[in-house]
Amino acid sequence: MANFPRLDALAVAANSRGLFEGMLVYCDWENARDLEFANGLHNLWVELLERTNKRQLFITELEGLCPSAKR
């Protein structure tokens, strides 16, 4: 089962005396990974929105220039 690390982890947990505790640890580990991923994704979205808003503001300011300054 070397190709399936999660399956290996579940097999070890199932063969242990503390199946319930092992599953809790495994689920907590998976939840922590999911939350870390979601947090990173959220931070990327925030950065993307900030950059987009700054560029839109810059474009709006350029559009407000008088025609002689645009040449």
Q: What is the per-residue pLDDT for 30?
A: 92
pTM (predicted TM-score): 0.56
H or E element in which residue 2 lies:
none
Output the six-digit token pair for 42.
């959220």
Range of the domain at 54: 5-70
pLDDT digits (tens, 9 = 90+) for 36-62: 999 999 999 999 999 999 999 999 988
How many domains is the chain built from?
1
